[in-house]
């Protein structure tokens, strides 16, 4: 690995597993100090208690974060909004509680954290990068995923809206759109041979993605190598969206 983030500080949500944890691993491997955020304190402690480059914080993003949450993390120059939840339910049975929690974690939290990040960066003269974790469901719907699909498509447009406004301040805002990636979110589906085969039939590369593959794209978009890229939503999906 290179040291593209040597001396930089990043804040990563959803850091207790899946794509978020892979992003922490990638960024620290390239020299960053990372503030790892998740509501699963035990998982954070298990992953990071012996990692000098990682400071972890327990935070339930279904609730509003305090106004100084980002600023109190230090000179944060990279924000990665990787936290996300999926509540599967037929549309007619989708509870208001699940709808509200999905909207809070998948959309409101990235919005609030991005606002705090931008205020913090402007106080330091501007610059910095935000990377949001959207989904292939930002582009296409899936059954029993109403709230998830809606929030991920809205997060895609939030990425573009913020990118447009923040470009004059040197703050870049991009996103990845992961395809089916091997995380706990879909572990039950992947363990069912019939359902897994049916899902893989829609992936031209005929395999599930790995969290590290998503993290590699996040790291690129957050790095200076992507210095002229903003407002982009990059599919990392094994070709799913080519269909």
How many whole angstroms separate alpha carbon 149 and alpha carbon 102?
10
First to last CA, the chain: 33
Question: How far is residue 125 CA from its own chain's centroid?
Answer: 25
Q: What are 28-64's pLDDT values in tens digits? A: 999 999 999 999 999 999 999 999 999 999 999 999 9
Active site residue 152: yes
DSSP character at residue 4: T
Identified catalytic residue from 48, 148, 160, 228: 148
Question: Would you call 148 a catalytic residue per the annotation?
Answer: yes
pTM (predicted TM-score) = 0.96
Q: Give pLDDT, residue 163.
A: 98
Asked whether the beta carbons of 158 and 115 are under 8 A apart, the reply is no
Q: For the chain, list residues with pLDDT below 70.
A: 1
Domain regions of the chain by residue span: 9-234
Cβ count within 10 A of residue 1: 11
Specify the fold of 9-234. Answer: Rossmann fold (3.40.50)
Note the pLDDT of residue 187: 87
- HSE-CB at 35 with a 13 A cutoff on CA atoms is 20
Residue with tokens 């794209």: 217
* Catalytic pick among 48, 152, 160, 228: 152
d(CA 218, CA 132): 8
Give the phi and the psi of residue 195 in degrees, each rounded to 5: -65, -40
Using alpha carbons, list the distances in angstroms from residue 152 to 25, 57, 86, 231.
Answer: 24, 24, 10, 15
């Amino acid at each position: 690995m290179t040291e593209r983030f040597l001396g930089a500080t990043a804040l990563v949500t959803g850091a207790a597993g899946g794509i978020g944890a892979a992003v922490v691993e990638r960024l620290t491997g390239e020299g960053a100090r990372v503030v790892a955020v998740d509501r699963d304190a035990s998982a954070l402690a298990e992953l990071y208690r012996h990692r000098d480059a990682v400071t972890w914080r327990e935070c339930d993003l279904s609730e509003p974060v305090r106004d100084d949450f980002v600023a109190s993390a230090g000179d944060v120059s990279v924000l990665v909004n990787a936290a996300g939840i999926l509540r599967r339910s037929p549309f007619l049975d989708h509870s208001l509680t699940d709808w509200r929690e999905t909207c809070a974690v998948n959309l409101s939290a990235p919005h609030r954290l991005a606002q705090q990040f931008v205020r913090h960066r402007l106080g330091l003269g501007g610059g910095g990068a935000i990377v949001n974790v959207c989904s292939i469901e930002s582009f296409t719907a899936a059954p029993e995923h109403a709230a998830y699909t809606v929030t991920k498509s809205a997060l895609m447009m939030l990425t573009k809206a913020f990118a447009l406004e923040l470009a004059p301040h040197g703050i870049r805002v991009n996103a990845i759109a992961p395809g089916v990636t091997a995380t706990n979110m879909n572990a039950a589906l992947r363990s069912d041979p019939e359902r897994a085969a049916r899902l893989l039939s829609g992936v031209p590369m005929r395999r599930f993605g790995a969290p590290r593959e998503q993290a590699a794209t996040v790291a690129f978009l957050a790095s200076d190598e992507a210095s002229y890229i903003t407002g982009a939503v990059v599919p990392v999906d094994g070709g799913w969206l080519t269909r």
